[in-house]
Amino acid sequence: MREAMFYEMEANQRVRCTLCPHFCKVAPGHRGACGVRINRDGTLYTLVADRVVSQEVDPIEKKPLFHFLPGSEAYSIATVGCNLRCLFCQNWEISQGPKGRAAEPVDFACPVTSDHSADWMAGSPVMPDTIVAEAKARRCASVAYTYTEPTIFFELALDSAKAAQAAGLKNVFVTNGFIASEPLRMIAPYLDAANIDLKAFRESFYKRVCGAPLQPILDAIRLYKQLGIWIEITTLVIPGRNDEEAELRDLARFIVSDLGEEVPWHISRFFPAYKMGNTPITPIETLRLAKRIGLEAGLRHVYLGNVFEEGVEDTDCPACHTVLIRRVGLRLVENRLQDGACPTCRRPLAGVWQ
């Protein structure tokens, strides 16, 4: 257990966490909304600064990042906890596991909890240097902070990112984008890329389905871009929730106008999970409509995910439409880029290629 970064002390031993836009006011013995930051006698501690529940080697395409070191491997780590509570979470056992239920009504969002060591100490002990050493040993080009939400294990991510950069590795966030500006600015010099979930483009969806407001996520996405971090956007399209044509058009226009036409948009197919087990699978026609909407809005690169169709993961040259990168099942099949450009017309392709 380690004292957390980004919090303010208040009266009566309460603290105000400033890591994410929940800005939880946490009383002694309570956790923040993430489930992994706890107030002990007026000091906020993180319980995941040195423990991970997952350490895997993944293709970078699985993040998904299609314009970032294609064909490379990413050493991927995660802790328990998350600052959202998405009803469709694929990794809910670890993202929601450390969150207790309120034992009594309270006047703020953070639940009462008792300190159960089995809950708090989930995972294996780890140090940033060992993460980096293992990534190097496994011949990975990057370290990815993923599976749950890297914002809530900020201290571990920051220390590991610094060590990874010093060792010549790149760093990747796979994130929901719910982070305050100060911590994002602090870690930005060590981040090379981020895939950011933009789960919908309606406030009602975010509040009802994810437990958070939308605007801070839009602000953070813009800031990621402004800080020079390569970003790609992912939207899981859920039937009856965020699949209306008007909403998809608004979302696509936001990417084009606020982020740029070269930012890739990954449109992913929903499969029933967690508390949305009775929601149907996304029809393939809906995904095709979303892709058409993205292209009509001016996006250069729109990809379909969780769909096993030829060509939906390929990267084309925006100028001459030559297929530059072919993928099947989130695996690189062919990369025809030459020095980051199309071999046919020599147009540079936006991304990070080395």
Whether 253 and 285 map to the same domain: the answer is yes
pLDDT at 109: 46
Average pLDDT over residues 90-107: 70
pLDDT reading at 335 higher than 70: yes
The residues, any chain, with a CB within 8 Å of residue 154's CB and separated by 6 or more, are 5, 6, 19, 46, 183, 187
Residue 165 in domain: yes
Residues paired with 231 in a beta bridge: 194
- 247, 201 Cβ separation under 8 angstroms: yes
Tokens of 57: 């080697």
Whether 56 and 32 map to the same domain: the answer is no
Residue 115 in domain: no
Q: 86-98, pLDDT tens digit by residue?
A: 999 999 999 998 8
- 229, 193 Cβ separation under 8 angstroms: yes
pLDDT at 100: 61
Give the neighbor-by-neighbor strand order of the sheet with 37-40. 2-3, 43-46, 37-40
Whether 130 and 259 map to the same domain: the answer is yes
Average pLDDT over residues 214-223: 98
CB atoms inside a 10 Å sphere around CB 264:
25
Average pLDDT over residues 26-37: 94
pLDDT reading at 113 higher than 90: no
Tokens of 208: 């009802």
Whether 85 and 150 map to the same domain: the answer is yes
Burial class (CB in 10 A: 0-12, 13-18, 19+), 297: buried
Residue 342 in domain: no
Q: What is the mean pLDDT of the chain?
A: 94
Average pLDDT over residues 239-244: 98
Q: 114-156, pLDDT tens digit by residue?
A: 444 434 557 899 999 999 999 999 999 999 999 999 999 999 9
Average pLDDT over residues 222-247: 98
Q: What is the DSSP letter of 346?
A: -
pLDDT reading at 110 higher than 80: no
Q: How far apart are CA 42 and CA 66, in angstroms?
A: 44
Residue 181 in domain: yes
Following DSSP, what letter does each residue of 222-244 receive, concatenated? HHHHHTT-EEEEEEEE-TTTS--
- Residue 22 lies in domain: 2-46
The proportion of the chain whose per-residue pLDDT surpasses 70, expressed as a percent, equals 94
